[in-house]
């Protein structure tokens, strides 16, 4: 470090301590600062704390050295911040260029995190978990200081990005309850900023214009492959003269902007999840930050945006870990202290392959459509790679905010277990207040087209929804299951049931005696018809009367009555089913509905056929 900054540092010390005239001292200070800044910018190594303090002192004392202060205040254009771009770890080898990024820390309580989806499809559960972790972290830090959860849309891929996908992602985040504080900020609307930052790097000599054609780049890659080397850029235009560059520009040749990567340096980050991670810059080569068409490259956008938005922590999937080397180099070249990093493990399928469509639903929107609760999905996603150190599995949002920490995120990959999600969703449904479940099911049924619209709903709607919750709440796994369960009850598969081998014993035990009684009490005496139309909830009294008059009880009574009324040998309470069917006639629009009148007509025909068989 002394060799790197020694000359400028000694001059700075001399200027600060000199008794020379003010103008001469100011000139010496300004020159010394410039030397230090450029050496730091080009090397990427931070000066000593005392020297940084002296620079900061100059910046705060414009009255003493106005020219020096002006130069200091323009430090972000020259690649240096008073706090330093990167910190040297104790015992590190400065002579080699061992760059260590241990923290973002601006010394304040403020925490700023971001979720940055690409609007090229639906919100995958992996992305949703990343958003959730950022949200929980920001909400937790907000309790002891200030924080912000920023939503940034990385839509620079013009060919694949769509506004429809962006809107879908925003809907899914809102449905999950992950409300952002700032944004959405779109990269497609920030092109001028990227060009400005690229020009700053060009002006400092930390980037250069590259006129290589696609054919030349391909040839370089093929040669590297033949030699068993990484496909790094050979650096042909890295050392071109100003005259050579100007000649190409005058000829109108297109060019990309490449970042000048320092050679044989170790770049180290302290990842909150993975610990210390180190790369050697020799594996990289000079990389493009602006394409020949003027569009910025992903890693450049990310670093510029994180800096511009003052992001303090970057929490993202481990698949972005390789990008971190490029981004840290860009942060450093721009004189910006990198944020802290936390790279979360991937979410795998049960067969430990990458979770994909072949494993079923993988997007938040799909799980919503399948009838999962947003709070259950949030709870489940939180546990895919994190736990609070206890056996607790059901967490409210407030509990997650209180207990979440980056340190408790595991390094190992998480496995998405649909059965575990089903169990968790069923627990949330069971614990839900009945009135809330009624409301959600009502909305769902209207959406699915099995219930009349809100404006046509009356007492019957409230009655049937209350009964549905009473019958099914303990058994539901998803909200959609309620539609399936309802339509099962609305069917009347009488003939199929009687034709099955399982019904043989019931038929031989006197089924048709009960069936004839039911038919007569509906079509002749009208007793059953009046009961169903006026007091369907009192059906149990009717069953007792049937048993008393026919002299039967127990299974020989209840099973035949069940089959007569429902067409099935099993299911919820028969009286509840009769109530549901009769009430559904006023408000359910499902094609599965077989009215009570239609049921009795089918039963009468079955009884008549049995009589004909007996007479034969």
Query: Among 294, 335, 117, which residue's Cα sits nearest to residue 192?
Result: 294
Output 77 or 360, whichever has higher pLDDT: 360
Mean confidence (pLDDT) of the chain? 85
Per-residue pLDDT at 88: 32
The sign of the torsion formed by the CA atoms of 34, 39, 40, 46 equals negative
Per-residue pLDDT at 104: 43
Residue 354 designated active-site: no
Helix axes 418-431, 374-382, angle to 10 degrees: 130
54, burial (CB in 10 Å: exposed 0-12, middle 13-18, buried 19+): buried
**pLDDT above 80 for 105:** no
Per-residue pLDDT at 361: 79
Stated as kind and residue range, the H or E segment containing 559 is: helix 555-566
**pLDDT above 90 for 269:** yes
Q: Pick the catalytic residue from 357, 368, 540, 582.
A: 357
pLDDT per residue as tens digits for the range 144-201: 889 999 999 999 888 899 999 999 999 999 999 999 999 999 999 999 999 999 999 9
What is the SS3 assignment for 315?
strand
N-term to C-term CA, the chain: 111
What is the SS3 assignment for 354?
strand
Separation CA 360–CA 349 (nearest Å): 10
What is the SS3 assignment for 258?
strand
**pLDDT above 60 for 438:** yes
Domain boundaries, the chain: 2-84, 357-428, 433-616
Separation CA 317–CA 130 (nearest Å): 7
pLDDT tier for residue 220 given thresholds of 50, 70 and 90: confident
pLDDT per residue as tens digits for the range 463-521: 999 999 999 999 999 999 999 999 999 999 999 999 999 999 999 999 999 999 999 99
Asked if 230 and 172 touch (Cβ cutoff 8 Å), the reply is: no
Per-residue pLDDT at 99: 60
Residue corresponding to tokens 């990389």: 287
Separation CA 86–CA 75 (nearest Å): 15
Output 164 or 616, whichever has higher pLDDT: 164
Choose the weakest-confidence range: 24-28, 233-237, 253-257, 364-368.
24-28
- The secondary structure of 589-616, three-state, reads CCCCCCCHHHHHHHHHHHHHHHHHHHHC
Contacts of 143 (CB under 8 A, 6+ apart): 401
Choose the weakest-confidence range: 48-57, 412-421, 450-459, 519-528.
48-57
Enter the tokens of residue 482: 């309620």
User: Averaged over 103-125, what is the pLDDT?
Assistant: 81
Tell whether pTM > 0.85: no
Percent of the chain with pLDDT over 90: 72
**pLDDT above 60 for 139:** yes
**pLDDT above 50 for 351:** yes
Enter the tokens of residue 242: 């100003």
Query: Among 599, 604, 564, which residue's Cα sits nearest to residue 584?
Result: 599
pLDDT per residue as tens digits for the range 576-591: 999 999 999 999 999 9
User: Averaged over 538-549, what is the pLDDT?
Assistant: 92
User: Averaged over 419-427, what is the pLDDT?
Assistant: 98
What is the SS3 assignment for 363?
strand
The sign of the torsion formed by the CA atoms of 503, 509, 512, 518 equals negative
User: Averaged over 19-35, what is the pLDDT?
Assistant: 42
**pLDDT above 50 for 278:** yes
DSSP 357: G
The backbone torsions φ and ψ at residue 91, rounded to the nearest 5 degrees and listed phi first, read 80, 5
Per-residue pLDDT at 98: 62
Per-residue pLDDT at 157: 87
What is the SS3 assignment for 91?
coil
**pLDDT above 60 for 62:** no
User: Averaged over 545-559, what is the pLDDT?
Assistant: 95
Per-residue pLDDT at 569: 97
Stated as kind and residue range, the H or E segment containing 210 is: strand 207-210
Asked if 343 and 97 touch (Cβ cutoff 8 Å), the reply is: no
**pLDDT above 50 for 308:** yes
CATH class of 357-428: mainly alpha
DSSP 119: S
Per-residue pLDDT at 614: 60
pLDDT tier for residue 118 given thresholds of 50, 70 and 90: very high
500, burial (CB in 10 Å: exposed 0-12, middle 13-18, buried 19+): exposed
Enter the tokens of residue 570: 């099993």
What is the SS3 assignment for 314?
strand
């Amino acid at each position: 470090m002394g060799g790197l900054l020694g000359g400028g540092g000694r001059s700075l010390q001399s200027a600060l301590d000199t008794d020379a005239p003010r103008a001469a001292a100011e000139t010496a200070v300004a020159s010394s600062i410039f030397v230090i800044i450029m050496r730091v910018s080009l090397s990427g190594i931070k000066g000593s704390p005392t020297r940084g303090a002296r620079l900061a002192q100059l910046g705060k004392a414009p009255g003493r050295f106005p020219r020096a202060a002006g130069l200091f205040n323009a430090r972000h254009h020259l690649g240096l911040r008073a706090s330093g771009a990167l910190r040297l770890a104790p015992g590190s080898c400065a002579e080699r260029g061992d760059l260590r990024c241990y923290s973002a820390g601006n010394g304040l309580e403020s925490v700023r995190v971001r979720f940055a989806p690409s609007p090229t499809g639906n919100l995958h559960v992996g992305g949703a978990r990343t958003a959730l972790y950022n949200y929980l972290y920001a909400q937790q830090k907000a309790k002891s200081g200030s924080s912000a959860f920023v939503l940034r849309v990385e839509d620079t891929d013009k060919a694949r990005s769509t506004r429809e996908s962006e809107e879908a992602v925003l809907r899914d985040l809102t449905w999950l309850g992950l409300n952002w504080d700032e944004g959405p900020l779109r990269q497609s609307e920030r092109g001028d900023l990227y060009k400005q930052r690229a020009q700053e790097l060009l002006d400092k000599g930390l980037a250069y214009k590259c006129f290589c054609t696609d054919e030349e780049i391909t040839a370089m890659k093929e040669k590297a492959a033949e030699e068993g080397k990484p496909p790094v850029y050979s650096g042909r235009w890295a050392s071109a003269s100003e005259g050579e560059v100007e000649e190409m520009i005058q000829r109108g040749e297109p060019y990309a902007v490449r970042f000048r990567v320092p050679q044989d340096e170790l770049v180290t980050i302290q990842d909150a999840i993975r610990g210390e991670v180190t790369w050697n810059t020799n594996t990289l080569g000079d990389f493009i930050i602006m394409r020949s068409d003027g569009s910025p490259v992903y890693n450049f956008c990310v670093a510029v945006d994180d800096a511009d938005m003052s992001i303090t922590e970057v929490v993202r999937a481990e698949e972005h870990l390789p990008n971190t080397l490029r981004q840290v180099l860009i942060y450093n070249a721009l004189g910006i202290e990198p944020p802290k990093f936390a790279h979360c493990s991937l979410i795998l399928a049960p067969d430990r392959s990458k979770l994909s469509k072949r494993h079923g639903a993988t997007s938040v929107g799909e799980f919503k459509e399948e009838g999962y609760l947003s709070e259950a999905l949030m709870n489940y996603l939180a546990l895919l790679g994190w736990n609070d150190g206890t056996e607790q599995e059901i967490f409210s949002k407030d509990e997650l905010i209180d207990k979440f920490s980056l340190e408790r995120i595991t390094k190992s990959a998480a496995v998405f277990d649909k059965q575990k999600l089903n169990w968790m969703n069923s627990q949330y449904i069971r614990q839900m207040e009945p009135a809330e479940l009624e409301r959600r099911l009502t909305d769902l049924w209207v959406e699915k087209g099995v219930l009349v619209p809100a404006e046509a709903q009356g007492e019957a709607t409230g009655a049937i929804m209350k009964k549905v919750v009473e019958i099914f709440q303990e058994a539901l796994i998803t909200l959609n299951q309620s539609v399936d369960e309802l339509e099962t009850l609305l069917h009347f598969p009488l003939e199929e049931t009687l034709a099955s081998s399982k019904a043989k014993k019931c038929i031989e035990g006197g089924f048709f005696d009960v069936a004839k009684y039911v038919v007569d009490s509906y079509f002749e005496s009208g007793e059953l018809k009046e009961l169903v139309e006026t007091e369907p909830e009192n059906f149990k009294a009717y069953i007792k009367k049937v048993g008393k008059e026919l002299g039967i009880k127990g299974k020989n009574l209840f099973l035949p009555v069940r089959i007569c009324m429902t067409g099935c040998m099993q299911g919820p309470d028969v009286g509840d089913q009769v109530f549901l069917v009769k009430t559904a006639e006023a408000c359910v629009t499902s094609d599965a509905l077989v009215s009570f009148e239609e049921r009795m007509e089918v039963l009468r025909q079955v009884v008549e056929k049995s009589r004909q068989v007996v007479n034969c």
